[in-house]
Structure 1
């Protein structure tokens, strides 16, 4: 497998970019009008053509996950690859994203407060999303190709958006001090975490937040009692954030944030996907990921203006010191000779990705005759730099993009065309012998979504999208393969069709039901990121990935609730000679059922059952079906001296099952039974 590029586009960048912010801030409808019904733990958005799942702060705390990837692997079509550590885990959505060789294939976009984070190809290292869950109040997963135009090109799997906490979350938007303290403990690996939030609003329109989180985990144990090697880590994280609201009626605001997560690992296997050093040897590795964001917003009392300018800088640095003699590949070579080789130099290579991005967009509401428009238009300038190394080329990728999404409502119909134009220029950091040192490429992408609201709680929707993945820095090289890849773009098209229903008093008085199902089909061709099995130079001819996703939430007036999420699908990869086989990184078929009951807001008890079939490991070997049981309890007294305190207890893998996760290395078993306890206090 080689590297990344792809994703879809379609019609819901408008809701994607604006709904979490603008729809919440202004109550502005998206597509058919976004309605949130809280049946169970997870809120479902009704009235959109976008496959969107939101993991809110309450669920983030209840799951007590040690990585963000562990939070979202419960979303239909999402697979956590090799995932028990921040450095090794990767995210795969609908068969694209992290794979069994690299932590990313560029077909998933990851953003933190608007900053684009992640790397290109890092061999046998994850780091697609290296951060701590306790820095965030919301994680949003956009699956598939619709909604991609506001985030980039070539995004076939989806978008993961993280939103950091705000001071007003703790002060209630009033002048004064607030904050929280959280302590977590996990029995497996004696893991623990502490997270402190300090918030201050010295005056109206001025707020500051400081968060410090420290997470520590020892090596985990599998269900059969064996130790899972290379599963320990220690990661300090911090977040600073300030917001200033000013102008007439508070129409203007300026938000500044900085977040960082660091891991300093000594004498660990280079290969983060495996449990031992094997042929790659051992290293001292320091991983440092940081994001800085400045956002200006101007939202006066005008339907035509809601202007945002988001300037971000993301820096991911991985410094590696190879331990002499730890790899059989070294033989009798000196460390200098071993590290200078393009073949083995990857084990010694330092990696650094710096991405600077400016996105300026405006959302306008207007009418033309009988048509109501909700238009999002914007421009984006991106500069990405990659450090040069013996094993991989360095260089600079400069991009410029324009995008527009116009959601047009005509009676009960909503029609949303979308366009994105993107131009890139890649320059090598060093001269390339016999070939040019810079490359230009551009692409025009388009999509269309159509939705119809029957007016009785039922709606249907469909979309078609086309996108292109432009070459990346990793495509630089002098070989015929490299020159072919950097001279073309990957293409993909995605079709989706589905239906939603939401209603109150459906089966009993005071109950609520939300159900959403959608079928998707994605085709990828002109492939530059995946090679024929067993080859390093022959690319696949094309890939097809399709499936059905289902999400449902039902809640009763007495506090009983049921959440359901599932995915059934398949994919095939096609070789140039016409032969085909199962798509090597397609998601497993999985269903997740949660049964729970709430007693007011004080106590919440739930039982989660996850059943997965059609599984295989990283080498393609079939794995047995597996069923896991997880229990969770949350107690939040609302009166007396304990008011503001939350106690959470959970048991994961209750039956202590011994199994290997889907697409994981056959040597890396999943964690066995784990008891988790957390205590938090807001003040």
Structure 2
């Protein structure tokens, strides 16, 4: 019995050993399958995401631009004085336009028609850039509050003030800000069904015994061509102060001419050509209104010329095309002949500053379904 039991035990052990050897490969195969399944489970979320359609994000553009947008949507401190506001103000000088504009101080000397703009305490030396239809007005003269630009308010359709260094989009050096003037088009003067119109503005002031005449006319040749022009003549004597005393040398004589035409040679194409000529005759001193017998006084003739050309290509049937380019030339020349004191009569000096430049806005395509980059 003992022999039989041992034989059975040995036989059972041998059978188990053989079965173990046979089962080992299958166990290893199952373990490898489990590892592969675990790895597959880990990769499953990424594979599932790749099978889904891509998510379209809004296009993000980081740049300084000169593109028009609503003031409330702009990421800058901007104030805009539009035509309705100008009609309400009825400005007599360029300085009058900014009397209620926060952070902006515009000043003029009694004997100098040029306007100086101060934005948040910064002015002159190119710190504040002034443009007229995109043309930089770079003239300024070192002195006691000397002005920097010449413009007649009757020409202006809109004035925009941009505060701070974001204004560098309009040119280098404008760390204080930008004052951008835009002149009127014929379409701003003519009603939709009018082919021509003429207006006359007359003004008289008793303090200084002066008068102003401003004539504006526009003609629309067709929907594709129009023109507008303006002539201004102003003559004023020296005004009196609150005590009734005459403030010497505060009179002036101004002649200004303005012409602008708009052409649309084809659908989506527009060309604007403009010219502004201004001439000022004044007697300028080192200190406005001073009666000092030794203070130098100059008979000053200042001529300001601005020529602009602007082209845009923006077809209605193609949102990917939005090209604009402009070129300009501005020149300001002030000729001064000394008329006081008598020992220096006839001395002559002049200031002459000219600026030529161009701007190009390169079109950028926007992704379908994303917010526009304009």
* Fold shared per TM-score above 0.5: yes
The structural deviation recorded for 1:88 is 4.8
Cα separation, 2, equivalents of 1:175 and 1:61: 21
**Quick check: 1:108–1:160 contact (8 Å CA) kept in 2?**
yes
Distance in 2 (alpha carbons) for counterparts of 1:58 and 1:371: 35
- Note the alpha carbon deviations across 1:338-395, whole angstroms, 9 max, x for none: x6xxxxxxxx421111111111113435138x863515xxxxxxxxxxxxxxxxxxxx
Q: How does 1:100-499 map to 2 (within 5 A)?
A: 104-124=124-144, 126-146=146-166, 148-174=167-193, 176-247=195-266, 250-265=267-282, 268-271=283-286, 273-276=287-290, 278=292, 279-300=294-315, 301-323=317-339, 325-326=341-342, 348-367=348-367, 372-375=371-374
- Aligned counterpart for 1:46 among listed residues 72, 93, 98: 72
Maintained 8 Å contact 2:285/2:295: yes
CA-CA distance at 1:85 after TM superposition:
5.6
* TM-aligned CA deviation for residue 174 of structure 1: 4.5
Query: How far apart, in 2, do the equivalents of 1:220 and 1:176 lie?
Result: 42
Q: Deviations over 1:108-132 (max 9, x none)?
A: 0011111111314433463412121
Q: Is the 8 A contact 1:269 1:276 kept in 2?
A: no
State the alpha-carbon separation in 1 of the partners of residues 110 and 100 from structure 2: 15
List aligned pairs for 1:612-627, cutoff 5 A: none
> By how many angstroms is 1:277 displaced?
6.3
* SS in structure 2 at match of 1:74: coil
Is 1:57 the counterpart of 2:57? The answer is no
Residue aligning to 1:520: none
- Report the TM-score, using the length of structure 2 for normalisation: 0.75
Shift of 1:289: 0.7
Q: How many residues align?
A: 312
What TM-score, normalized by structure 1, do the two folds share? 0.43
* C-alpha separation in 2, matches of 1:12 and 1:187: 52
CA gap 1:89/1:227 in 2 versus in 1, 3 angstroms: farther
> 2: CA distance between counterparts of 1:324 and 1:275?
14
**CA distance in 2: counterparts of 1:293 and 1:73, whole angstroms:** 28
What is the CA-CA distance between 1:12 and the residue it aligns to?
8.0
Cα deviations across residues 225-273 of structure 1 (Å, max 9, x unaligned)? 34333322121111011110121xx2001110001211123xx3432x5
Larger Rg: 2
Greater length-normalized contact order (CA 8 Å, ≥ 6 residues apart): 1
Kept after mapping to 1: 8 A contact 2:277/2:305: yes
Where does structure 1 differ by over 4 angstroms across 4 or more consecutive aligned residues? 82-86, 277-280
Give the SS at the match of 2:67. Answer: helix
Distance 2:194 2:224 in 1: 9
1:66 is aligned, of 86, 92, 97, to 92
Deviations, residues 459-501 of structure 1 (Å, cap 9, x unaligned) = xxxxxxxxxxxxxxxxxxxxxxxxxxxxxxxxxxxxxxxxxxx
Q: Secondary structure at the match of 2:299?
A: strand
- 8 Å CA contact 2:140–2:146 kept in 1: the answer is no
Distance 1:206 1:107 in 2: 38
Alignment CA distance shift 1:57-1:229 (3 Å): farther
Aligned counterparts of 1:255 and 1:82: Cα–Cα separation in 2: 31
